[in-house]
Amino acid sequence: MAAASKAGTALMQNPLSSAQLLPNAVLPVSLPGVLGVSMPGTAAVVPGSGLPGLANEEAARKAALQAALNLQHNLAKIQADAMPEHYEAELEINEFPQNARWKVTHKETLGPISEWTGAAITTRGQFFPPGRIPGPGERKLYLFIEGPTELSVKRAKAELKRVLEDFSHQSLQLPGGTQPGRYQVL
């Protein structure tokens, strides 16, 4: 803002014509109905005097410059508002084996993934045993992933899926861990 303000002050001291501001634009020759304001190269008539007014041309230049600066500021603000500052994703872990859920929700696993991807990972919801349906306002256990870029969130989600699949596979290899059809790895 300070740089734009300084630039605006410098330009106000050395006013530019509309042709210099918009060199490739097609501009109308005059703006009828706007208190006699016209573009450079045409005569502006000061109301009541009937004479061309150089002061009005100077005021028109300043107004055009201010309008251009305001437009630039407003466009930057709209772009900042339109682009989200962070991205989000969810990964449901309720249906994975207990060992896999436990491993993927601990700091020893989440910390390195967060550092590597730049995404924050939070455990949310609660565990519901198979067959039990969550009531209103309740959610099954899941990981909430948020990050500054879409890529960081995708990488974190992919790595968490990989860890879940590895530990699910390991838990099924343990004695008593084979229960066909009970869990589905996505």
Distance of CA 186 to the CA centre of its chain: 29
CATH of domain 87-173: 3.30.1370.10
Q: Is 106 exposed, middle or buried (0-12, 13-18, 19+ CB in 10 A)?
A: exposed
Predicted local confidence at residue 74, as pLDDT: 85
- Residue 30 CA to residue 18 CA, distance in Å, equals 12
Residue from 3, 2, 22 nearest 65 by CA: 22
- Residue 173 CA to residue 106 CA, distance in Å, equals 22
Residues 148-163 have a mean pLDDT of: 94
pLDDT tier at 3 (50, 70, 90 boundaries)?
A: low
pLDDT tier at 38 (50, 70, 90 boundaries)?
A: very low
Whether 97 has a pLDDT exceeding 80, the answer reads: yes
**Residue that is written with structure tokens 């995404």 in the block:** 119
Whether 122 has a pLDDT exceeding 80, the answer reads: yes
Per the confidence metrics, is the pTM higher than 0.75?
Answer: no
pLDDT tier at 30 (50, 70, 90 boundaries)?
A: very low
| Domain boundaries, given as residue ranges, for the chain | 87-173
Q: Which amino acid appears at position 145 of this protein? A: I
Q: Are 44 and 60 in contact (CB under 8 A)?
A: yes
DSSP label at residue 45: B
Predicted local confidence at residue 113, as pLDDT: 94
Residues 145-162 have a mean pLDDT of: 95
Q: Is 182 exposed, middle or buried (0-12, 13-18, 19+ CB in 10 A)?
A: exposed
pLDDT tier at 144 (50, 70, 90 boundaries)?
A: very high
Q: Are 142 and 124 in contact (CB under 8 A)?
A: yes
